[in-house]
Structure 1
Amino acid sequence: MPKIVDVIKYEGDNSTFVWKHPCEDFNTNTQLIVHESQEAIFFMNGLALDLFGPGRYTLETQNIPLVRNFVNLPTDGVSAFHCEVYFINKTEQMALRWGTDSKVQYVEPTYRFPLSIGASGEMSLAVDDSRKLLVKLVGTENSLDRQQLTAYFRSILMTKVKTYIAQTMRANAINIFEIDEQLEKFSEDIKEKLIPDFLDYGIALKRFNVTTVVKPDGDVQYERFKELHFRQYADIAEARLHQQTEVIAAQTAAQKVVIDSQAQATKRQQEGYTYQQERGFDVAQDAARNEGTGQFTNMGIGLGMMSGIGSTIGASVNSAVTDAFSGADPATQNRFCDQCGAELTPGAAFCDNCGAPQNTLGICAKCGFKFIKPGKFCPKCGAKREG
């Protein structure tokens, strides 16, 4: 009598975590096929016995050592033995949605006011311990898919996640108005807390992302603190902008001074005088404008500074200074006879003492120097004074 050979293989889809093969009575020499990223577990009398990884197996007593301890299989017939086979899909199941079913109550760590928020996101799971998953979660069910697994863990998520959200925000002092900037770290911290809760059921939490934090928009207290928070940031931004503007203005002014200095230096070089000569000319001009008390002191300073200007500018400037400091009107100032040196009557054309005709302007006919005291020769050019 020929032997009957059955083939046991996975016939579910990729979204299923656990699938039980419908056949429960196997003949000896039955073929078991386990695909990549799968495991198969044999159950007998309600006990999880042998576990098979990817590959092709002939089900004989030599290949099922734990089953062999429970039943004495014939070696030359087609006698059947009663077992159950569960296939475990170990691929990572992604994009599983989660969300809190009620608000999380906690005290905002920055402004210290009570706050209620909600959260939602996605996670991905994979089987870590097939035997533990079957024993603690599946039991006698024929299958376990994504939706059922999420439903099983919903109560865990609702209890644990809300607690972990409050703990994480308090421990890291996360400002509710800045939480969107820290969602990546926030998600990672909560995931680390959830991992042991899932491993207890043989499930590995591969990814856990908080994608949305539901804030209490419209709440009077929340809106008041929100306005305060963003006003503080606006003041800081304005102060920084003002500081940057002042720095730019100072840099611009410094650059202008450098440019003006370079332009002035170029001008002096082209016109053939030095900075010292230019300053001396400025002082001479200021001294020439002064009148009254202190004019002779100023004249001395001006003329001293003038001495370094040079022959080209000096002659005309000295004349201007002399004119300025002579001060008095030629018609009323004291004059002296060019011939005998006697003091003349103001406005006189002839000397009262010797009768000699006088230079009514009191100016050297040769160089234009204005006489200020008696003498026979011009102190400027040495020419004899004309009578």
Structure 2
Amino acid sequence: MAFIDGIKRQLRSVIEWENPDPDLLLAQWTENGDEIKNASKLIVGPGQGCIFVYQGQVKAIIEDQCMINLETDNVPFWTMIKKFMQFFESEHKAGIYFFRKTKILDQKWGTTSPIKYQDPKYHFPVALKAYGNYSYQIADPGDFFVNIVGSHNQMRIDDFRNILSARIINPISDYLAECQHSFADIDANRDEIARGIAIKLAIVFRKLGFSISDFRIEGTDFDEDTLRRINRIADLTAEAQAAQAVGLDYAKVQQLDALREAARNEGGGAGLGMGMGAGIGLGQGMAQALGATTSPAGADSNQTVAKLTELKQLFEAQLITEAEYAAKKQQILAKF
């Protein structure tokens, strides 16, 4: 059966990539030197190119759609082939390969592992995950064959996707280190980041014979440790803004929170003593936070109104409890 198949291949007279698999980037037409010598016609279809390889080296490439009569037409591509095949012997290796010239559109990419870099604003390690899409095409068939195909007889679109996924981490890491975007700025600057990464990827893949285009970042995410740090920053920022809204220094608010928490710790005899002491400290801390002082007789009633207003803002901001609000209000009114 193998002998019959070999005879059939040698009888083929047309070199052509007919009905190519849509998932193929490159496919070998033959490695049979006699089949190449006996061919009478070469057809390169739309969006195709053809490579002639002799003894492992690319000797001729044609990228234009054409139909060549190999017996009469004087075409440089075939002239080069005939030059080598004139002295062809069976132990020599000669091959014809067809490749896809058209752009491969809307390919998905995603980081296989988190990209780690130092946040330039908050100075903590960030681990970023990202995904998106891109398009590409074979730009230099010779470099593509030498650097990617090698001894393989075909190359599939999935094969290239794996190559890109393995090589995308370093360009993204390098760009994020250069652009100095904090984690909070990533999504707002995705287009800018994508353009910067695309430039770095273009340099890497041009050496492999490919051109990258339409590179986009569709979404980003962070690992659990980074999210925990981000949420902590968000909580602290919200608390600081709430304190500012009622005219308090954030450090004073933290002191009040610590005193109130200690006052609630009243479990057991020792705990009771701690709770009482913390309660006294709480009253003192509130007085300091509100700027309470012993007013001389006949003080302006506007000062009392201001303190009551500030006290109410603390209560509405949920920085003190209802009981604390009532006790302190009574204390202010008693001094009026």
TM-score of the alignment, normalized to the shorter chain, above 0.5: yes
Check whether the contact 2:139–2:211 (CA below 8 A) recurs between aligned residues. Answer: yes
Relative to 1, partners in 2 of residues 1:20 and 1:89: Cα closer, same or farther, differing over 3 Å?
A: same
1:14–1:89 Cα contact (<8 Å) kept: no
Q: Work out which of the two has the higher radius of gyration on C-alpha atoms and give 1 or 2.
A: 1
Question: Which of 65, 75, 79 is the aligned partner of 1:65?
Answer: 79
User: What TM-score, normalized to structure 1?
Assistant: 0.52
CA contact (8 A) 1:15 1:93 kept: no
Q: In structure 2, how many angstroms separate the alpha carbons of the residues matched to 1:152 and 1:233?
A: 48
Counterpart residue type for residue 192 of structure 2: K
CA offsets 1:66-118 (integer angstroms, 9 cap, x no match): 22332438xxxxxxx98421111011112222222222222212222222221
Equivalent position of 1:99 in the other structure: 110
For residues 151 and 121 of structure 2, the distance between their equivalents in structure 1, rounded to whole angstroms, comes to 51
Equivalent of 1:86 in 85, 92, 97: 97
**Rounded Cα–Cα distance in structure 1 between residues aligned with 2:93 and 2:118:** 59
Check whether the contact 1:28–1:59 (CA below 8 A) recurs between aligned residues. no
Q: Which residue of 2 aligns with 1:227?
A: 235
CA drift of 1:31 comes to 1.1
Q: Find out whether 1:121 has 2:132 as its counterpart.
A: yes
Q: CA deviation at 1:34?
A: 0.7
| Alpha carbons of structure 1 residues 41 and 220: separation in structure 2 relative to 1, 3 Å | closer
Paired-residue identity, %: 22
- Give the deviation of 1:234 after TM superposition: 9.0
Aligned to 2:181: 174
| Greater displacement, 51-60 / 140-149 | 51-60
Counterpart amino acid of residue 125 in structure 1: Y
1:38 aligns with 2:48: yes
SS in 1 for 2:219: strand
How far 1:20 moved relative to its partner?
A: 1.2
- 2:22 corresponds, among 14, 35, 49, to 14
SS at match of 2:148: helix
Selected match of 1:209 from 212, 216, 226: 216
Equivalent runs, 1:136-215 vs 2, <5 Å: 136-158=147-169, 160-167=170-177, 171-215=178-222
Separation in structure 1 between the aligned mates of residue 107 and residue 139 of structure 2, nearest angstrom: 17
Q: Any gaps of 5 or more consecutive residues in structure 2? A: 1-10, 246-336
1:224 is paired with a residue whose SS is helix
Stretch deviating more after TM superposition (186-195 or 17-26):
17-26
Counterpart CA distance in 1 for 2:232 and 2:53 is: 62
Distance 2:119 2:181 in 1: 8
For residues 300-319 of structure 1, what are the structure 2 equivalents within 5 Å?
none
For the structure 1 residues 174 and 229, does the alpha-carbon distance in structure 2 shift closer, same or farther, using more than 3 Å as the test? farther
Structure 1, unaligned runs of 5 or more: 74-80, 238-387
Query: Residue 54 of structure 1 corresponds to which residue in structure 2?
Result: 65
AA partner of residue 147 (structure 2): K
AA aligned opposite 1:14: P
- How many residues are matched? 225
**Does 84-93 or 174-183 show the bigger shift?**
174-183
Structure 1 stretches of 4+ moved >3 Å: 60-63, 216-220, 227-237
Higher relative contact order (CA 8 A, sep 6+): 2
* Contact 1:38–1:90 under 8 Å retained in 2: yes
State the distance in 2 between where 1:124 and 1:232 align. 46
Q: 1:55: how far off?
A: 0.8
Cα separation, partners in 2 of 1:9 and 1:107, compared to 1, 3 Å: same
Which secondary structure state, in structure 2, belongs to the residue aligned with residue 112 of structure 1? Answer: coil
Partner of 2:86: helix, strand, or coil? coil
CA shift for structure 1 position 32: 1.0
- Asked if structure 1 preserves the Cα contact closer than 8 Å seen for 2:15 and 2:39, the reply is no
Deviates more, 1:140-149 or 1:108-117: 108-117
Counterpart residue type for residue 173 of structure 1? Q
Look up the equivalent residue of 1:31 and give its one-letter code. Answer: K
Equivalent-residue separation in structure 2 for 1:107 and 1:5 (angstroms):
61
**Aligned equivalents of 2:44, 2:147: Cα separation in 1:** 23
CA distance in 2, matches of 1:20, 1:154: 25
Structure number with higher helix proportion: 2
1:17-49 deviation digits (Å, cap 9, x = unpaired) = 111114731344521111122111112232212
Q: Residues 154-196 of structure 1, C-alpha deviation per residue, up to 9 Å, x if partnerless?
A: 32223x24423532xxx33323123212111111111111111
Post-superposition shift, 1:144? 0.7
Shift of 1:212: 1.7
| TM-score, normalising length: structure 2 | 0.59
Q: Shift of the alpha carbon at 1:235? A: 10
